[in-house]
C-alpha cells in the first residue's frame, strides 16, 4: 500500500466518540492510579475497573477509530472492526455503493469474494428522509432528481472506481482478507483477565 492513500473514508462521529471514550478512560485510569479526585485504588476493585476501562478502549478503537476505506494507486483496503481486506486494482471486479460500499474481488482461491465496508453505511429510511428534505425546495427539485438514490456509499464507490480506472494495470492478482489479531487480542484479553480476577 502506498504511504499516502488518495482516498480515506472514516466515520467522523465514530472517531469523535472513540477518542472521547479514550480520553475518559485515560482520566479514570489516572484517577485509579494516582487518585486525582480522591484516594488511589490499588486493590482488586480498582483492577476490575481498570480492566473494564481497557475493554471499553478496545471497543472504542474497534468500532470507532479503526474502520476505514482506503484507496491508493495500488488497490483498495477495507478495514472493518476485526478484519482487513486488501484488493489490488487488478483483482477488483466491482466497487459498488448503495446502503454500503461493497468490493467484489478475486480471492486467493480464484473465486470472487465480496467485502462490505463498516463505514459509510446508510439505512433506506435515512436515505428517504434526505431525499424528502431536498425535494421541499422548488429550486432543489432538479438537484434532488439527479441525486435520487445516491448515498454517501455510492459517492465513495464512484471515487474508488475513478482511482481504479486511472491506476488499474493489465494482469491478474488476488486480494486477501485477514484478521486484525491485535484488535482481537485487545477485545479478548481484558474480559478474560477480569473473569480470572473475579474468580480468584
pLDDT band of 172, cuts 50, 70, 90: confident
Closest CA to 66 of 88, 83, 86, 87: 83
pLDDT band of 149, cuts 50, 70, 90: low
Contacts of 150 (CB under 8 A, 6+ apart): none
83-88 and 176-179: which strand pairing? Answer: antiparallel
pLDDT value of residue 138: 53
Q: Among the listed ranges 11-15, 108-112, 119-123, 181-185, which one has the minimum average pLDDT value?
A: 119-123
pLDDT band of 135, cuts 50, 70, 90: low
Mean pLDDT rounded to a whole number for the chain: 87
Amino acid at each position: 500500500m502506498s504511504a499516502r492513500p488518495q482516498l480515506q473514508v472514516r466515520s467522523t462521529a465514530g472517531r469523535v466518540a472513540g477518542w472521547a471514550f479514550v480520553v475518559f478512560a485515560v482520566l479514570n485510569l489516572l484517577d485509579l492510579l494516582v487518585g486525582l479526585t480522591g484516594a488511589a485504588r490499588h486493590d482488586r476493585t480498582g483492577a476490575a475497573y481498570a480492566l473494564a476501562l481497557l475493554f471499553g478502549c478496545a471497543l472504542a478503537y474497534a468500532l470507532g477509530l479503526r474502520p476505514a476505506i482506503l484507496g491508493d494507486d495500488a488497490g483498495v483496503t477495507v478495514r472493518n472492526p476485526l478484519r482487513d481486506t486488501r484488493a489490488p486494482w487488478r483483482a477488483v471486479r466491482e466497487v459498488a455503493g448503495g446502503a454500503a460500499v461493497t468490493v467484489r474481488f478475486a480471492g486467493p482461491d480464484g473465486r470472487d469474494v465480496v467485502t462490505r465496508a463498516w463505514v459509510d453505511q446508510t439505512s433506506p429510511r435515512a436515505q428517504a428522509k434526505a431525499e424528502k428534505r431536498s425535494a421541499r425546495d422548488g429550486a432543489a427539485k432538479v438537484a434532488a432528481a439527479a441525486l435520487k438514490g445516491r448515498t454517501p456509499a455510492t459517492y465513495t464507490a464512484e471515487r474508488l472506481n475513478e482511482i481504479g480506472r486511472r491506476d488499474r494495470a493489465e494482469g491478474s492478482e488476488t486480494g486477501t482478507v485477514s484478521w486484525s489479531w491485535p484488535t482481537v487480542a485487545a477485545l479478548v484479553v481484558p474480559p478474560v483477565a477480569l473473569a480470572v480476577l473475579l474468580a480468584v
